[in-house]
Chain A
Amino acid sequence: MNGFEAISFYNGWNISATGIGIVFTALCTLSFIISQLHKALTIWEKREEYIKKAGKLFSPPKKAAPHRKIKVSESFNESARQFHVLIQSMKDPFSLPKLIKLAQKIDLGRPHSTVNDLLTAGLIVLEKE
């Protein structure tokens, strides 16, 4: 027995078809992996960003900052009023150093400390650095 008869007798056709199937499947899998490789590389390169994002998802939500209550004295109110008048006379946005100079010129008491208090109270807002 030889030729096609022998192939059929020993399941040659089935074995060949299985072999072809295995190789084809492997090649398909390999080509899919290669086609998606760039995505994996992008994720690897941006891994720190993704880790941060994932961290944010699982971290407890931040509590909103409590509303600050600022107790102010009468003298602070008076200083704020005086500085307000000065600021009104200046261009908008006004210059903080010029405000202090002006306050010194007209002899307002402790202009630096008052400006600091006004900044702390959020009544004067600086341009962001």
Chain B
Amino acid sequence: MHLDLQNIQEIDIFKDLSTEELDKVLPIIHPVKIFEGERLIREGDTSQMLYIIISGNYMIHFKDGRAFTLNQKGEMIGWSTIANPFTYHESAVALTDGEALTIPIEEFLDLMQGDSDLGSKITKKVTEIVRQRKAFIEDKIENQE
């Protein structure tokens, strides 16, 4: 997959970023091919990578056995990577072959800390995702208790 400013800006999390900010983000984004059955992240592991779906169907699941799927372009896997305690809150496995963008979390956090405007825009988007998945996660926590 060829990466340029235009196709990066089409992705929801980067929509609000200016051209200068996108220029800073672009070098740390790497497109990868994902293969059917490949495990992307494991619940409880230290966060290393954030995934943004380009294509394919991915199962997000929790230790209690509950699961849902993500398959829309721009959806994030491993959003909890940018929040304390920097561990994955879910596991993800590819149900089909597909493509994703990967962002190494250390470089991403450095970038966000170095540019407060960019950091707050990204945090705002992640908060939206957290809010959307909140009910599912809260239900999960209640079940664990």
Contacts and interface: CB of A to CB of B under 8 A. Distances in A.
Asked if A and B bind, the verdict is yes
A116 B57 contact: yes
18 contacts: A95-B67, A97-B59, A100-B59, A100-B93, A110-B36, A112-B37, A112-B59, A112-B96, A113-B36, A113-B95, A115-B59, A116-B95, A119-B57, A126-B69, A127-B66, A127-B68, A128-B68, A129-B132
A97 B95 CA distance: 11
A119 B61 CA distance: 15
B67 A126 contact: yes
Interface class of chain B by DSSP: mixed
Given A96-B59, A129-B133, A129-B136, A113 B69 contact: no
A117 B15 CA distance: 32
A96 B96 CA distance: 15
Contact of A95 (B65, B96, B135): B65
B15 to A, nearest CB: 22
B94 interface: yes
Contacts of A129: 68, 132-133, 135-136
B61 A96 contact: yes
A81 interface: no
A112 B36 contact: yes
Interface in A3-55: none
A84 interface: no
B57 A95 contact: no
A100 B69 CA distance: 14
Nearest to B56: A116
Contact of A97 (B57, B61, B135, B136): B61
Interface string A96-129: 1110100000000011110110010000001111
A19 to B, nearest CB: 62
Contacts of A119: 57, 69, 95
B96 A97 contact: no
A115 B67 CA distance: 12
Given A110-B36, A126-B69, A129-B68, A116 B96 contact: yes
A113 B96 contact: yes
A15 B36 CA distance: 93
A119 B135 CA distance: 22
Given A97-B93, A100-B93, A127-B66, 5 more contacts: A98-B65, A116-B96, A119-B69, A119-B95, A129-B135
A6 B66 CA distance: 96
Given A96-B59, A129-B133, A129-B136, A112 B65 contact: no
Contacts of B91: 97
